[in-house]
Amino acid sequence: MNGRLMELAGRTRGFMPAEEGLALHQLGLEASPSHPMLEVGGYCGLSALYLGSAAQETGSVLFSVDHHRGSEENQAGWEHHDPELVDARTGRMDSLPFFRRTIELGGLEAHVFAVVGASVEVAAAWATPLSLLFIDGGHGEEPAMADYEGWSPRLVPGAFLAIHDVFPDPVDGGQAPFHVFTRARADGFVEGGAAGSLRWLRAPS
């Protein structure tokens, strides 16, 4: 990932340290370009920079699925609320303009495509096989597991499943992503590695 994009990543809103982002970028480089990649949870485009730049290098594409109204933890009164993302006209969260601007500044518009909608509904209508799935949407138990159940069947054999904010110890963070990770292992996904709170597995053959 070039220095210009790293600099842009450093000033883009998000919750992914560079170590984790670079690991995600590497997974994107290793994913087969024969099938697209997809992330659940685009927010302001930070993870899409890492995956999108990998797609640019390999000739692949990334679909970023997000309703852009913010997860529960992004709402007013919660820890990760950012008032600058509130649409003054409606009073609702709207990260889509920030996402689009990030992708534009990164020169990645030919490789990163925003799919604006709720993950579960989009997954139900999705038919294209995927080479990589990155789950980083709602961190509550129900939405996190619904993202896994809706999207993991779209992975081709050997594809990557990456999950953000996996904390085995509840002292370190919420447990829903960890439960998704353990569910994936029980379903036959093969553990691949970790960087910070990012964990990844391979889809069973």
Residues with a known catalytic role: 139
| Cβ count near 87 (within 10 Å) | 13
Integer Cα distance of 176 and 145 in angstroms: 8
Q: Which whole-number Å values give the CA distances from 132 to 35, 147, 151, 162, in the listed order?
A: 8, 14, 10, 8
Integer Cα distance of 164 and 137 in angstroms: 9
| Cβ count near 109 (within 10 Å) | 12
- Pull the structure tokens for residue 85: 């993302």
In 3-state terms, what secondary structure has residue 89? Answer: coil
Q: What would the 3-class secondary structure string for 93-121 be? A: ECCHHHHHHHHHHCCCCCCEEEEECCHHH
Which residue has 């990543």 as its token pair?
A: 9
Integer Cα distance of 173 and 119 in angstroms: 23
